Amino acid sequence: MSKKISLTRYLVEQQRMDGHIPAQLRLLLEVVARACKRISLTVNKGALGGGLGSAETENIQGEMQKKLDIIANEVLIEANEWGGHLAAMASEEMDGIYIVPNRYPQGEYLLLFDPLDGSSNIDVNVSIGMIFSVLIKPEGPGVSAQDFLQPGNQQVAAGYCVFGPQTTLVLTVGDGVAMFTLDREQGSFILTAENMHVPDDTQEFAINMSNMRHWDAPVKRYIDECLQGKDGPRGKDFNMRWVGSMVADVHRILTRGGVFLYPWDKREPDKPGKLRLMYEANPMGWLIEQAGGAASNGKQRILEVQPGKLHERVSVFLGSKNEVQRIARYYSEA
């Protein structure tokens, strides 16, 4: 990519080309990108910035919060609440929705995010990231948590930012997937990949193998066949990667293919999975589909799951289309 195209210029040209990005959505995406730059600065300071370690508090998921979880959440709230583009926000780190205060104008968009995903990796300097999803508030007065309960196929924008060796912002507005790398000297996100594509096939799977004894039969069958390699039914060897940070694993899959699995397991039988539908599976599922991959909960497209509650969990199988379809077939045969 010879010309250095900034995120701003990309969004303006996308808007000019096909009116795909209304001005308020363009503002939203630029504000989210600016917030990611601020989070990146804090993450990159590590121990020097006092942002490491536990906040000694729990979120609604019952997970211990890291200081950076809370800092990232506050950065995203403060960056977005005044712009007039949002009606409300929802976050993994907040029990209920955050309605834009009356002192600011309200817009038509709803912003959902996991402000710092993979935070168990913060203290050990492994890539982490933020994930966001944008919906349109249904017509009608006011805003409530119910307004957020839309299936993933209603998203108008989705993306993530990886805080790793590079800080990269990956997003879609329904017209393919683009990647922007943060140029720290300029302080701008620069377009470094367009029309990202997930190969239909792969020889690399991502799952936490330590949970094997807890999986149900279709997942055990799929992974066992991968482990049998070229002498088994798959006729090829597989590699495994598991970062423990969904953003890092999904970024690898978007970049070189692969399949990511976080299935239901017997440890918490009343929960459909560990990952959250609204601000993890839906945005990642849309990005993967926009890049030619597939995203399923084993029984249906993730983007068709009708949410019943804001912090709903879901089983996640996403990535190279032929692998996801194989897993879904094993579920249908079970």
Residues that bind ligand P6P (CB under 6 A): 117-118, 120, 208, 244-246, 274-275
Residue 263 · residue 291 · CB < 8 Å: no
By C-beta, is 117 or 204 nearer to ligand P6P?
117
Partner residues linked to 131 by β-bridges = 114, 160
Report, in Å, the least distance between residue 281 CB and ligand P6P: 10
In a 3-state reduction of DSSP, which class is residue 39? helix
By C-beta, is 21 or 305 nearer to ligand P6P?
305
Report, in Å, the least distance between residue 27 CB and ligand P6P: 28
By C-beta, is 7 or 207 nearer to ligand P6P?
207
Strand order in the sheet with 204-206: 239-240, 204-206, 259-262, 316-319, 294-296
Report, in Å, the least distance between residue 68 CB and ligand P6P: 13
Q: Residue 8, Cβ neighbours under 10 Å: how many?
A: 14
Q: What are the distances in angstroms from CA 321 to CA 31, 156, 198, 201, 287?
A: 33, 22, 8, 7, 13
Strand order in the sheet with 167-172: 98-99, 86-91, 109-117, 128-136, 157-163, 167-172, 178-183, 188-193
State how far the Cα of 206 lies from the Cα of 5, in Å rounded to an integer: 33
Task: Give the N- to C-terminal CA distance of the chain in Å, as an integer.
Answer: 47
| Nearest-CB residue for ligand P6P | 246
Partner residues linked to 159 by β-bridges = 132, 171
Report, in Å, the least distance between residue 40 CB and ligand P6P: 18
By C-beta, is 30 or 117 nearer to ligand P6P?
117
Report, in Å, the least distance between residue 196 CB and ligand P6P: 20
Report, in Å, the least distance between residue 275 CB and ligand P6P: 6
By C-beta, is 27 or 275 nearer to ligand P6P?
275
By C-beta, is 162 or 171 nearer to ligand P6P?
162
